[in-house]
């Protein structure tokens, strides 16, 4: 699995920050030369690097690289015993395979170094799979020097996508890019095999600096006319002077200089992101090859704090540090990865200790853990059982927000025996006069999520003001689906022209919620966007309108579609590779090809529910109703608890005038997923049509009370109230809909 940390660095009190925005205009075909070539000239940096987690990110198994106990040891996981032992120079594990049979597997590579180490097993089709048994490398006194299972108390059985031989434990896709140098996945769909290649089994010098062949040539002549000493990019550029601010008692830059080349070099591995292409080039936009996650509620808390294994990039982009031009290497020495200074001294290099280091700021004893800057501003969350990660949004701890939003806070992470109210009361008493007077972006994001009359104004506020972090504005656009007012639409159109590809990408996502005819002319130019991730998103937005495109626009669309198909074909080791191609094929009229791809998807990946549902819809659109029913039935045999498939079956019965079975299937869909507004609305309408009007109205009202004001449910409440001649109630819901959604 990817294990990632965002890095920061700090020089002294009056230090110089270096930006990293330059890329060589003409570097030729540079090649990788290997770490060994670097150390002869860069001995000090190499010695620092050799002790880093980057150096040990992956290695061939040997007595020097293996940290786990393979001296005939065992580990019991839910009654299943795994055995670890050596046979000569080979390191072996005997454990359960994908069929449930116990077998011997030879380990080829170590994976990670500290605080845990995992192990990779090769398969004949070129896959490397990550064993779920990890070695805790911490000292024994800290609970380490033991085997543990990655999923702890959760029982992961063969057939589960998280089982160690499954697609979500496949190193070639999930991990390799961030643990090797110059990795190429090279999946061959026709052979269902990986021919993956990489230059070094570690995060090497060239992983960050880029291929060094040009630098080797430069080193022979020291030709000053060669840009960046022969590298494709520079990770150091114009100096920024930091000066004391007597009011804030911190250092402030004389100008804001963001360092996006450095930031995106680190983000390649230190972001929660999907890599969609092998064509990575140093210095290009991250979105040429990767799609980073926003801070949406699936992976983050509503206020932007880390929830899942979110790494650091998405957090750090939220921070005031990043907004001022601080980068990863401001706090972290880039070769050792260690912080330049330990303890509060790191923070007080910029923040004057007289104001910030002590009870006058923390209200905790100087010698206690409560006075540690990172404890309050970068609280820790533990992932993978033992791996502590600091939240790099470097935010003010807000227990008062926890009371409002149900989010975690640093105070109660330490004071676990105290209530949220207790923490909030102390916090507001200490800091009330210092807190922002205006609403913060966490409060605005929370308002957007609640479907109340403050929601649309909060979205407008975030999009209107450019001082909010770009990743927060991107998240707001991605999550803005229901608030399609004209003024929000105007701001989204502005972001289509943003210099930041992340904002262009998410503006396109937001436009999916608007009538296609309103946005076609605005989206078409982005088919020629210089960033692959953006132009492919533009193609997907336009796909449902393909039949309305003129000939010249279709030609450009087809160029991007071909690029997209190549990307998705390389993803055919996962269901998305088939499914995504099928969706576009169907929109563009290639229905037979779409059917073929959907069929392959459900055959190879029967656990992937969307393919069953879409294939049934394809048959329905063609009038092939019996085949649609058969597909739904096949899907339900694989997924008897799927709300989507029960809903599809319910609609099939309704179309066939078998109302009784239809209502029953829709009931099962709502039972499986009670928070789905579409399922609830459909079930309510079906109930109403069978003279169960009161029951239908009660169902929608219960949904509204529990899950908030979703427009589809409000539409149902308005319609049913009118039909029941409940004029006052219908008027109340109409007013509520206008207040919340603006129409």
The tens digit of pLDDT for each residue in 260-297 reads 899 999 999 999 999 999 999 999 999 999 999 999 99
Query: DSSP character for 674?
Result: T
Pure H helices in 656-692:
659-672, 677-689
Q: How many CB atoms lie within 10 A of CB 661?
A: 14
* Pairwise CA distance, residues 546 & 595, whole Å: 18
Determine what percent of the chain is predicted with pLDDT higher than 90: 90
**Best CA proximity match to 182, nearest among 157, 152, 202, 154:** 202
Query: DSSP character for 452?
Result: S
pLDDT at position 26: 42
pLDDT average, residue stretch 124-149: 97
Q: How many CB atoms lie within 10 A of CB 493?
A: 17
**Would 92 be classed as within a structural domain?**
yes
**Would 85 be classed as within a structural domain?**
yes
What would the two tokens of residue 101 be? 């049979």
**Would 385 be classed as within a structural domain?**
no
What are the φ/ψ torsions at residue 95 (nearest 5 degrees)? -155, 180
Please give the C-alpha separations between residue 653 and each of 90, 587, 609, in angstroms, as whole numbers.
59, 26, 20
Confidence of residue 23 (pLDDT cuts 50, 70, 90): very low
What are the φ/ψ torsions at residue 136 (nearest 5 degrees)? -80, 110
239-245: strand order across its sheet: 16-18, 239-245, 250-253
The answer on pLDDT for 437 being more than 70 is yes
Confidence of residue 237 (pLDDT cuts 50, 70, 90): low
**Would 312 be classed as within a structural domain?**
no
- The strand pair at 102-107 and 133-136 is best described as unpaired
Q: What rounded mean pLDDT belongs to the chain?
A: 93
Provide the residue range defining the domain that includes 148: 58-202
**Would 150 be classed as within a structural domain?**
yes
Which distant-in-sequence residues (6+ apart) come within 8 Å of 52 by Cβ? 335, 336, 337, 338
**Would 180 be classed as within a structural domain?**
yes
The domain total for the chain is 1
* Pairwise CA distance, residues 59 & 232, whole Å: 27
What would the two tokens of residue 302 be? 């509503």
The answer on pLDDT for 9 being more than 60 is no
Contact (CB, 8 A) for 57 and 203: yes
**Would 173 be classed as within a structural domain?**
yes
**Would 334 be classed as within a structural domain?**
no
First and final CA of the chain: distance in angstroms?
46
Query: 0.85 cut: is pTM over it?
Result: yes
pLDDT at position 20: 36
């Amino acid at each position: 699995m990817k294990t990632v940390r965002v890095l920061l660095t700090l020089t002294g009190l009056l230090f110089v920050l270096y930006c990293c925005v330059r890329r060589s205009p003409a570097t030729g075909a540079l090649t990788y030369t290997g770490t060994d070539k670097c150390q002869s000239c860069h001995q000090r940096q190499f010695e620092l690097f050799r002790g880093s987690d980057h150096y040990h990110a992956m290695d061939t198994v040997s007595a020097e690289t293996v940290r786990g106990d393979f001296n005939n040891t065992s580990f019991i996981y839910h009654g299943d015993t795994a055995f670890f032992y050596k046979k000569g120079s080979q390191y072996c594990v005997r454990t359960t395979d994908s069929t449930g049979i116990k077998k011997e597997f030879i380990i080829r590579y170590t994976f990670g170094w500290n605080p845990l180490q995992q192990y990779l097993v090769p398969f004949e089709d070129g896959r490397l799979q990550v064993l779920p048994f990890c070695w805790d490398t911490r000292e024994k006194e800290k609970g380490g020097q033991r085997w543990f299972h990655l999923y702890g108390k959760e029982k992961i059985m063969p057939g589960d996508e998280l089982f160690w031989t499954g697609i979500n434990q496949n190193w070639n896709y999930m991990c390799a890019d961030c643990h090797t140098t110059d990795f190429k996945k090279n999946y061959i769909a026709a052979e269902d095999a990986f021919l993956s290649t990489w230059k070094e089994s570690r995060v090497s010098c060239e992983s960050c600096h880029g291929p060094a062949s040009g630098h080797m040539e430069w080193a022979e002549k020291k030709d000053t006319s060669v840009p960046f000493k022969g590298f494709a990019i520079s990770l150091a550029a114009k100096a920024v002077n930091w000066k004391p601010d007597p009011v804030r008692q911190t250092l402030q830059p004389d100008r804001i200089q963001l360092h996006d080349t450095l930031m995106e070099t680190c983000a390649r591995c230190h972001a929660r992101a999907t890599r969609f292409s092998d064509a990575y080039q140093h210095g290009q936009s991250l979105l040429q090859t990767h799609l980073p996650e926003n801070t949406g509620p699936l992976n983050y808390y509503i206020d932007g704090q880390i929830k899942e294994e979110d790494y650091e990039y998405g957090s750090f982009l939220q921070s005031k540090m990043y907004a001022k031009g601080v980068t990863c290497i401001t706090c972290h020495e880039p070769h050792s990865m260690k912080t330049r200074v330990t303890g509060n001294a790191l923070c007080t290099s910029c923040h004057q200790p007289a104001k910030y280091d002590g009870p006058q700021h923390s209200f905790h004893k100087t010698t206690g853990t409560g006075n540690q800057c990172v404890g309050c501003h970068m609280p820790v969350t533990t992932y993978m059982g033992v791996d502590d990660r600091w939240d790099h949004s470097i935010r003010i701890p807000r227990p008062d927000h926890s009371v409002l939003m149900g989010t975690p806070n640093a105070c109660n992470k330490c004071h676990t025996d105290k209530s949220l109210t207790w923490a909030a009361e102390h916090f507001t008493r200490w800091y009330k006069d210092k807190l922002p007077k205006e609403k913060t972006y966490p409060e605005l994001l929370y308002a957007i999520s609640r479907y109340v009359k403050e929601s649309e104004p909060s979205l407008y506020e975030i999009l209107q003001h450019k001082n909010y972090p770009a990743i927060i504005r991107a998240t707001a656009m991605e999550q803005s689906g229901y608030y399609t007012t004209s003024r929000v639409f105007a701001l989204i159109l502005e972001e289509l022209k943003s210099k930041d590809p992340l904002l262009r990408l998410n503006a396109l996502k937001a436009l999916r919620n608007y009538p296609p005819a309103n946005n076609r002319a605005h989206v078409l130019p982005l088919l020629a966007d210089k960033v692959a991730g953006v132009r492919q998103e533009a193609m997907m937005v336009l796909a449902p309108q393909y039949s309305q495109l003129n000939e010249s626009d279709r030609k450009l669309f087809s160029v991007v579609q071909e690029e997209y198909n190549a990307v998705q074909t390389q993803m055919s080791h996962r269901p998305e590779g088939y499914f995504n191609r099928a969706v576009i094929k169907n929109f563009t009229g290639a229905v037979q090809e779409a059917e073929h791809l959907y069929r392959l998807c459900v055959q190879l990946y029967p656990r992937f529910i969307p393919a069953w549902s879409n294939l049934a819809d394809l048959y329905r659109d063609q009038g092939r109703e019996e085949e649609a029913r058969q597909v739904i039935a096949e899907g339900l045999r694989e997924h008897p608890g799927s709300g989507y498939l029960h809903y599809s079956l319910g609609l099939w019965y309704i179309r066939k005038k078998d109302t009784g079975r239809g209502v029953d299937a829709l009931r099962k869909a709502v039972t499986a997923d009670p928070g789905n507004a579409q399922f609830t609305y459909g079930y309510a309408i079906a109930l109403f049509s069978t003279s169960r009007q009161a029951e239908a109205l009660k169902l929608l009202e219960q949904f509204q009370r529990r899950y908030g004001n979703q427009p589809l449910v409000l539409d149902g409440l308005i319609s049913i109230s009118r039909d029941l001649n409940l004029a006052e109630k219908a008027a109340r819901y109409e007013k509520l809909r206008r207040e919340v959604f603006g129409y």
